[in-house]
Copies of this chain bind each other. A is one copy, B any other.
């Protein structure tokens, strides 16, 4: 594959106003009560490691592209209206998020659900910016990336962890 999917994914997230630092700060916020010595640099590292996974890249760009296509209005009805109003019974955004969260094991599920409900920081901003675009997938995808980075961080704290393991 010629295209650099890692950088492309980071670009797409930036376009919707989400930076690596935004996500690293959320990891810090969720995890600092368990590990009081973590640094923002460490959190950035785990966010970047999550984004290096091919599975995560594929899932993020598919969800963000669906948001963009819905904003452009080229998605057929009735799906267009479902995506535009972020219909509460529509669960495909959560399914995609699950594909990201599980990459570092199911302990990420709890953090995903919490972030998706409480919507701290940039996740709330995505949710509030809905007039400017469609962010049906975006908020769940960002919550999932943060949750997966939290899981990776938790795994990295065990004594026998090596970067190669994960």
Contact = CB atoms under 8 A, between A and B. Distances in A.
A103 B90 CA distance: 14
Contact of A98 (B69, B95, B154): B95
A79 B94 contact: no
A127 interface: no
Interface in A56-109: 58-59, 61-62, 65-66, 68-69, 72, 74-79, 82, 88-92, 94-99, 102-107, 109
Contacts of A165: 52-54
A20 B103 CA distance: 23
A160 interface: yes
Copy tally for this chain in the complex stands at 4
A1 B87 CA distance: 10
A124 B160 CA distance: 31
A89 B110 CA distance: 12
Interface in A113-166: 113-118, 154-155, 158-160, 163-166
Given A1-B158, A159-B1, A165-B52, A107 B91 contact: yes
Contacts of A72: 74
A112 B109 contact: yes
Contacts of A52: 165
Contacts of A163: 164
Interface string A21-60: 0000000000000100000000000000000111100110
Contact of A89 (B8, B58, B89): B58
